[in-house]
Amino acid sequence: MAHTHHAAVSRRRPDLRSVVGVTGEILITLGVIVFLFLAYELWFTGLYTAHAQSDFKKQLQSEWARPLPSPVASVLPGEQPGASVAPAPTVSDRPVPGDAIGLIEIPRLGSNYSYAIVEGVSTDDLKKGPGHYPGTALPGGIGNFVVSGHRTTYLAPFNGLAELVVGDAIVIETRDTWYTYRVTDLQTVLPTDVAVILPVPGKPKATPTKALITLTTCTPKYSASHRLIVDGVLESAQPKSAGPPPALQGS
Amino acid sequence: MYGALWRRIPGGLAGRLAGMAGLLISALALLFFVIFPIVEPHLPWNDVTVNTPSLSEPPSAPPASSVSPVPGVSSLVP
C-alpha cells in the first residue's frame, strides 16, 4: 500500500512540476505586463502628446503669421452688429473643436513651460494637451476661462499645478495678445463640484464682471477622487507687438 | 511554457533567436497599440475635468471634437 502510494507520487511528480512551472511563468508574465502598462501610461502616452503638441505649435505659428481673413476684426461697441456691416466672426471668436486656440505659459514651472491649448475636454482632446472647456470664456474674456489637463499621463502638462503659489503668473498667448493672469487661489474640490467653472465661480446666477482663469486637474496624483483647482484673475493684456509681458521676461 | 516554445521553433540557434524576437515584438505591439489603449479609459487617473463635458458645451457647437486636425496623428495611438 505504502509502496504503490510512493510510486504514484513519483510518477506524478514531473506533471506537478510542469504545472507549477507554467503557473510561475504565467504569473511572471502578468507581472511584466503590469510594468509594461506603467511604462505605457507614464512614458508612451507622452510621445503621442508630444507629437500632437508639436503639430499644434506649428499650426499656430503658421496661422498667426497669416493676416486675418477680414480686416474688420471686431465691431465697435457703439455699432449695431449685423446691420449693414456684418464682419465674419474671426477664428478666435468661436474656436473649432479639436483645434489649438493658444499657448499657456507658466514661468513658475520653468521658462520652457509652454503647451498648446486644444478646444474641447473630451478624452481625445485631452490626449493632445490641456483642453479649454467649450462655452466658457475665451482668453482675456469676461467670465471664466477654464482649462483642464492631465496630471500624470500624456506628458502630464498640469503635473506641477500644486507647486503654484498665490501671485504666480499664468500667461496665455493668442494670435495678437499676451494675457497675464495672476493666481488668486488653489483649492481641492470634489469631481462633481461644477460651480468652480461657472463664469462667477460658486455663484450660478451672478453676472460676470471680471476676467478669470481656472485650471483643473486630478488630485492627489494617480487618483480621481478629487480635483485640484487653480483660480486666477486677469492682470494685463498686452499686444504681441509690444513684446513678451514682464511675467515672462524675468525667467 | 517558454521552454516548449523555444524547442518548437525550427531553424537552429539563429532561427530560434529570430523567432523569439519576432514573437516578443508582436506581443509588445499588441499590448501597446491595442490592449493598453482599450484598458486605459477604464482607469481612474485620467479624469481631470469637473463634470461631463456636455453640460458646458454650447448647443450650437458642431460635433467635430473627435476629428483630428492633423490627419495621421489619431492613428498613432488608437
Q: Give residue-wise pLDDT tens across range A54-64.
A: 999 999 999 99
Summarize pLDDT for A161-172 with one digit per residue, the tens: 999 999 999 999
Residue A32 lies in a domain: no
* Phi-psi group of A222: left, alpha or beta (phi > 0 → left; psi -120 to 50 → alpha; rest → beta): left
CA distance A249 to chain B (A): 31
Q: Which pTM does this prediction carry?
A: 0.78
DSSP type of residue A4 = H
The type of residue at A120 is G
Residues of B in contact with A99 (CB under 8 A): 69
In a domain, A1, yes or no: no
What is the full DSSP assignment across A187-237? EEE-TT-GGGGSSSTT-TTPPP-SEEEEEEEEESTT--SEEEEEEEEEEEE
- Residue type at A21? G
Residue A89: is its pLDDT beyond 70? Answer: no
Q: How confident is the model at residue A12 (pLDDT cuts 50, 70, 90)?
A: low
DSSP strand pairing (A177-189 vs A169-173): antiparallel
Residue numbers of the domain that contains A202: 41-67+97-249
Does residue A227 carry a catalytic annotation?
yes
Residue A19 inside a domain? The answer is no
Asked whether residue A83 is domain-assigned, the answer is no
Residue A48 lies in a domain: yes
* 8 A C-beta contact, residue A237 and residue A140: yes
Mean pLDDT over each residue of chain A, to the nearest integer: 87
Chain B positions touching A191 (Cβ under 8 A) are 47, 49-51
What is residue A152's predicted lDDT score, i.e. its pLDDT?
A: 92
What are the angstrom distances between the C-alpha of A173 and each of A53, A170, A176, B74? 15, 10, 8, 26
What's the pLDDT at B41?
A: 87
CB B56 within 8 A of CB A197: yes
Question: Is residue A153 domain-resident?
Answer: yes
Give a yes or no: residue A92 inside a domain.
Answer: no
Q: Measured between alpha carbons, how far is B60 from A217 in angstroms, rounded to an integer? A: 27
pLDDT tens profile A203-234: 999 999 999 999 999 989 988 889 999 999 99
Choose among A120, A193, A125: nearest CA to B50. Answer: A193
The C-alpha atoms of residue A155 and residue A99 are separated, in whole angstroms, by 18
Residues B29, B36: Cα–Cα separation, whole Å: 10
For chain A, helix (H) and strand (E) counts, in that order, are 4, 8
Domain count, chain A: 1
Cell numbers 505504502 correspond to what residue?
A2
A92–chain B Cβ distance below 8 A for any pair? no
Q: Which of A51, A66, A150, A151 is catalytic?
A: A150
Tell me the CATH number at A168: 2.40.260.10
Classify residue A91: in a domain, yes or no: no
Active site residue A226: no
B70·A120 Cβ contact <8 A = no
Q: Name the residue ranges covered by the structural domains of chain B.
A: 1-40
Single out the residue of A93, A95, A144, A151 nearest to residue A120, CA to CA: A95
- Over residues A147-171, mean pLDDT: 96
Which residue in the block uniquely carries the three cell numbers 483660480?
Answer: A231
